[in-house]
Amino acid sequence: MSLSELRTRAVAAELERVPRGGLDQNIYRSALQNCLMNSMGKDAQIPSIAAAHDAALRAVRQYYPDFEPVICSES
């Protein structure tokens, strides 16, 4: 399995914890996907999965200040 495939699977696994929903939740998922891909790159600007969630939350709160993401716990 290539490094690209491993990254894609890791991002997909994390996104499984974040269900689709309204516009704000979907923007969060999209921002999170981008941040997660960045965090796994060679020249990552985002150092961890937790930092990716924080960055995605900041992006959504620019437009929806009271937004709280729905994130399912790991099983």
Choice among 1-5, 11-15, 50-54, 62-66 with the minimum mean pLDDT: 1-5
Name the band, by pLDDT with cuts 50, 70 and 90, for residue 18: very high
For the chain, domain boundaries: 3-61
- Contacts by 62-69 with C-beta closer than 8 Å and gap 24+? 63/24, 63/27, 64/24, 64/27, 67/24, 67/28, 69/18, 69/25, 69/28
Judging by beta carbons within 10 Å of its beta carbon (0-12, 13-18, 19+), is residue 35 exposed, middle or buried?
buried
Q: What is the mean pLDDT of residues 15-37?
A: 97
Query: Would you state the structure tokens that stand for residue 11, as one six-digit string?
Result: 């991002």
Q: How many residues does the chain have?
A: 75
CB 49 within 8 A of CB 19: no
Name the band, by pLDDT with cuts 50, 70 and 90, for residue 73: confident
Residue 9: its pLDDT value, please?
A: 92
pLDDT tens readout for residues 37-68: 999 888 889 999 999 999 999 999 999 999 99
